[in-house]
Amino acid sequence: MKRSDFSIYLNERNSLQLDLQISILRSQFLDQEELERAAEMDSAKDFATMQ
């Protein structure tokens, strides 16, 4: 393996790892948003039943 081939391999590997980390972070962020939205819905329902 030539040195340039190896550096290309490392670059591709790093970019794949970054893509994976980004998608994990994005899914965690979306899960957090959904949890907050669900909590707001629950509190709105609780408020409606108290009226």
Q: Is the dihedral of CA 22, 23, 28, 29 positive or negative?
A: positive
Residue with tokens 């893509």: 19
- Phi, psi at 2, each rounded to 5°: -75, 160
The boundaries of the domain holding residue 13 are: 1-51
Over pLDDT 90: what percentage of the chain? 43
Average pLDDT over residues 7-11: 93
- Tally of domains in the chain: 1
Count helices and strands in the chain by DSSP H and E runs: 1, 0
pLDDT digits (tens, 9 = 90+) for 29-51: 888 888 899 889 888 888 788 77
State residue 42's pLDDT score. Answer: 86
Average pLDDT over residues 15-23: 93
CA distance 19 to 17: 5
**Structure pTM?**
0.53
